[in-house]
């Protein structure tokens, strides 16, 4: 099911023999089924949605709205009309910060994030806080990479973070650097027990391709994810929000299809989700999302989790066994899907460049988490992230190439 077996579904491996792709945390590869679905749209009904009463447009609209239902089911949303198509997590978070935040956050209110957030779930809230005169609170992590909000018994303790003035709490589900899985259900429950009016925003970009997401079980208020992190097309994602909140928000963009009526005197807006989908969307990419979900459902998240955890555990073990004190690994032992590390006397960019010569792709840099890297006193890390098309042979090739690169680059 995994590794070599499933690689046949991803055309890049046929076109790039010997490729070892360990950068899924940045962007997953695209399976043939998704590509074929996009091609189907462009070859058979490549017209706009919603606007035509002819059969091609009706087919396009039907497939587009089918994707909305598929994504609603994927995250267990109670209503497909709560699913808004965006360009991805970044646009989704910015939509909430603009259309909800600027209407509801005022001077002396509070916004809470964590130091582990991707810039796309950090900067919009920081900017909003500065603009509104609100207090911007950042939850720190311990040396293992877990949020510093847990008591000795493991219970969530947010009393020093969340108050009656906290309007928004925006947290990542899975860290793209540390692999830490935040227990968001417990965190959100605790936050709402302190302040029932708090709005919980979840960045699920790194979770979507690796674990089951259930917005009703989480009891979050907004959730964002990107198609390209879960084997779908690039440049498309969703924002899910509770209908009551969506109805109260003003539009993010203005233009075609998001209106109910336009007159010289005034404009009234369509109901969600269309209120937030101005203009012509990336129709083929939205339709392609269906096949990404089908692939994940076919394999099943339990099997995906077992496979990826086995690879991550083995990678951490071999890094320590090979490099001993020369390697520093960031994140908890039970982290998922990604391992970030540094090798003494080398720079991550040099490591990645040398590995590229062996057809091995890893990520090097701050991974759009500069505050997190500053927290650990470093400027960059090397990151290897695994997926369904990786196997133990990939891990062995990585370790062998890393050892060669270390011997070449080490200043010690």
Active site residues: 368
Separation of alpha carbons 163 and 101, rounded Å: 17
- Cβ neighbours around 324 below 10 Å, total: 9
Place of tokens 């023999």: 17
- Asked if residue 108 has a cis previous peptide bond (ω within 30° of 0), the answer is no
The dihedral sign for the CA sequence 174, 179, 182, 183: positive
Sorted by sequence, the CB contacts under 8 Å of residue 54 that are 6+ apart come out as none
Distance CA 137, CA 123 (A): 12
Here the tokens at position 131 are: 């603009």
The residue among 211, 229, 213 whose CA lies nearest residue 289 is 229
Q: What 3-state DSSP class applies to 85?
A: strand
How many whole angstroms separate alpha carbon 237 and alpha carbon 226? 4
- Rounded to an integer, what distance in angstroms lies between the CA atom of residue 166 and that of residue 197? 8
Q: Cα–Cα distance between 167 and 105 in angstroms, integer?
A: 7
Looking at residue 379, the DSSP 8-state letter turns out to be S
Within 10 angstroms of residue 10's Cβ, the number of other Cβ atoms is: 23
Cα→Cα distances 66→50, 88, 144, Å: 13, 18, 42
Q: How many CB atoms lie within 10 A of CB 404?
A: 14
First-residue to last-residue Cα distance in the chain: 43
Q: Which of 222, 261, 235 is nearest to 99 (CA)?
A: 222
Distant-in-sequence, close-in-space partners of 403: CB < 8 Å, separation ≥ 6: 322, 323
State how far the Cα of 133 lies from the Cα of 153, in Å rounded to an integer.
36
Query: Under a CB-based contact definition with an 8 Å cutoff, are residues 349 and 379 in contact?
Result: no
**41: Cβ contacts below 8 Å, ≥ 6 apart:** 60, 63, 283, 284, 287, 288
């Amino acid at each position: 099911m995994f590794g070599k077996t499933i690689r046949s579904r991803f055309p890049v491996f046929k076109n790039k023999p010997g490729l070892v792709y360990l950068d899924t945390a940045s962007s997953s590869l695209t399976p043939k089924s998704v590509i074929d679905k996009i091609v189907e749209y462009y070859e058979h009904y490549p017209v706009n949605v919603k606007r035509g009463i002819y059969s091609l447009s009706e087919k396009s609209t039907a497939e587009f709205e089918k994707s909305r239902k598929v994504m609603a089911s994927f995250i267990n949303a109670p209503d497909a009309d709560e699913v808004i198509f965006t360009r991805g997590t970044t646009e989704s978070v910015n939509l909430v910060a603009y259309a909800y935040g600027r209407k509801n956050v005022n001077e002396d209110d509070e916004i809470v994030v964590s130091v582990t957030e991707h810039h796309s779930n950090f900067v919009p809230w920081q900017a909003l806080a500065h603009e509104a005169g609100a207090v911007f609170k950042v939850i720190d992590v311990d040396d293992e990479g877990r949020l510093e909000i847990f008591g000795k018994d493991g219970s969530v303790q947010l009393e020093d973070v969340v108050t009656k003035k906290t309007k928004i709490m925006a947290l990542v589900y899975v860290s793209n650097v540390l692999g830490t899985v935040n227990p968001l259900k417990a965190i959100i429950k605790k936050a709402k027990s302190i302040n029932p009016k708090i709005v919980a925003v979840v960045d699920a970009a790194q979770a979507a391709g690796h674990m089951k997401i259930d917005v009703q079980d989480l009891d979050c208020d907004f959730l964002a994810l990107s198609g390209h992190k879960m084997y779908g097309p690039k440049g498309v994602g969703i924002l899910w929000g509770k209908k009551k909140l969506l109805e109260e928000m003003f539009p993010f963009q203005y233009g075609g299809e998001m209106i109910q009526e336009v007159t010289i005197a005034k404009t009234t807006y369509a109901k969600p989700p269309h209120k937030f989908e101005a203009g012509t969307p990336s129709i083929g990419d939205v339709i392609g999302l269906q096949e990404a979900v089908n692939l994940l459902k076919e394999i099943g998240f339990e099997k995906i989790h077992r496979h990826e955890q086995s690879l991550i555990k083995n990678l951490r073990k071999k890094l320590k066994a090979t490099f001993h004190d020369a390697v520093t690994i960031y994140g908890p032992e039970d982290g998922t899907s990604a391992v970030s590390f540094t090798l003494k006397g080398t720079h991550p960019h040099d490591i990645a460049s040398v590995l590229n010569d062996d057809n091995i792709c890893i990520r090097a840099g701050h991974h759009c988490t500069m505050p997190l890297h500053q927290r650990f006193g470093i400027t960059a890390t090397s990151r290897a992230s695994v997926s369904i098309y990786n196997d133990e042979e990939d891990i062995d090739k990585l370790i062998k190439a890393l050892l060669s690169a270390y011997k070449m680059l080490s200043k010690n």
